[in-house]
Amino acid sequence: MRQSRTSRAAPVDPYARRFRQLKRELESLGYFCKGTVLERRMKCGQPGCACHQDPSKRHGPYWEWTYKAEGKTRNIRLSGAAGPIYKEGSRPYRKWKLLLSRLERLSHTALVSLAKQPESDRQT
């Protein structure tokens, strides 16, 4: 008995579309930096200064970028102009990590599925 043309074709990889979508999301990311960027307001060393009595009169803002590198925590003081830029740059990093995690889980699931298929049905 003759098989129809559609039954001989390799099945469409159900994970490929989602994988391509996640890759496009990765490609759309701009510059990023890992770590946390904080805007701080501080008390000074002058006991009579208003910053000691009223939190709204503290000095600053002072920007600080904290991240881990080579097993050590790094603290970098940023300029007033650089602080907001780095703050914005830390958001895409979190998205990058989330997308990478999703790609990894999806890849693992797809590989498990492909490994269960007969060799003749596999797509490359």
- In the chain (124 residues long), the average pLDDT of successive 10-residue segments reads 44 78 91 93 92 92 95 96 94 93 92 81 59
List strand residue ranges (DSSP E) for 13-58, in order. 36-42
Assess if residue 27 is contained within a domain: no
Assess if residue 61 is contained within a domain: yes
Assess if residue 7 is contained within a domain: no
pLDDT at 117: 78
Q: Report how many domains make up the chain.
A: 1
Assess if residue 103 is contained within a domain: yes
Domain span at residue 40? Answer: 33-109
Assess if residue 10 is contained within a domain: no
Assess if residue 114 is contained within a domain: no
15 phi and psi, to 5 degrees?
-95, -15
Assess if residue 118 is contained within a domain: no
pLDDT at 14: 78
pLDDT at 115: 86
Point out which residues pair with 25 in neighbouring strands.
none
Confirm whether pTM is higher than 0.75. Answer: no
